[in-house]
Amino acid sequence: MAAVMGIDIGGSGIKGTLVDVESGEMLEDRFRLPTPVKARPDDVAETVADVVKHFNYRGPVGYGFPAVVRRGVVYTAANISKSWIETHVEDLFKTVTGCPAYVLNDADAAGLAEMKFGVGKDHPKGVILMITLGTGLGTAIFVDGKLVPNTELGHIEIRGKDAERRASDAVRQKKELTWEEWADRLNEYLRTMERLFWPDLIVLGGGVSKMSHKFIPLLRLRTPVVPARLLNQAGMIGAAVYAHQRAQEQ
C-alpha cells in the first residue's frame, strides 16, 4: 500500500485526505477548511499548510488547483485572486508545508481518479469528457485514456457569458433554479461540447453529482451521460495519484 496525500482546492473549500494510490481508497476521513476570502496566494498557502498539518504527514502531496497550471506555474485565475497568475504554486506549497508539492488543474485531477478507479475503467478507449460541477465548470478530456491537460472549457462563451456563469452548480444555488431550469442551461452547454468534441462519454462530477438522479434524466443529448463514481472525492484521489506518479519519476 502506498499512502499519499491529496488536496482539492475549490472555490468554497480546501479538503484533503490520505489515499491508497494503488486502490483509490481514502485511508482517513477528509479534512476540510473554508477557502479564504478572495483566495490570495499567502492565505490559501496557510490553509493548505493547516490541512497537511492535520494529518501529521511528511511525504509528497498532490494538489488539484482551480486554474491552468503548467510546470508548477499558475496562468489563469477565474475563481481565485488574480495575484496567483505567474505564481510558482509548487514552490509556494513546498515552502509552507515542507513536503514535495505536485500541482495540476483540479478537473484534471478529478478526471485522473475517475479514469483509474471509476467510470473510465470500463471505457479505456475513445474520447471521454469529464465535467466537474461546482463553483465553476471544470473540464478534463481523455483520448484513449490519455489526458489533454488544462482544457478549462467552462470558460467558452454561451449567450455572451462564460459558460460557468450560466450553468455551474453555484449559479443554480444563487439563482435558486429548479432542477428543470438548471438542466436546460446545463444541456445547452453540454450540446456545445458535443458539437466541438464528439465525445463517446460524458462524466459529470463535483459536489452536485450525488444528486445526479435529479438532473441527468432531464438532459437531452446523443452522448451517454453518467455520474462520476467517485463523486466529489475524485479531486483528492486524483491529486494523490498525480503526486505519486511525479515523485516516482524523479
List, in order of start, the domains of the chain with CATH numbers. Answer: 3-108+233-249 (3.30.420.40), 122-228 (3.30.420.40)
Please state, in angstroms and rounded to a whole number, the distance separating the CA atoms of residues 68 and 85.
9
Map grid coordinates 463514481 to a residue. Answer: 229
* Length of the chain counted residue by residue: 250
Amino acid symbol at 68: V
Q: How far apart are the first and last CA of the chain?
A: 20
**Residue 112, C-alpha cell as written in the block:** 485522473
Q: What is the pLDDT of residue 12?
A: 87
Per-residue CA distances from 81 to 38, 40, 45, 70 (Å): 6, 5, 13, 18
Crossing angle of helices 234-249 and 106-117, in 10° steps, is 90
- The list of the chain residues with pLDDT below 70 reads none
Q: What is the pLDDT of residue 135?
A: 86
pLDDT digits 0-9 by tens, 142-188? 999 999 999 999 999 999 999 999 999 999 999 999 999 999 999 99
Q: What is the pLDDT of residue 241?
A: 97
SS3 135: coil
Q: What is the pLDDT of residue 193?
A: 97
Map grid coordinates 475513445 to a residue. Answer: 126
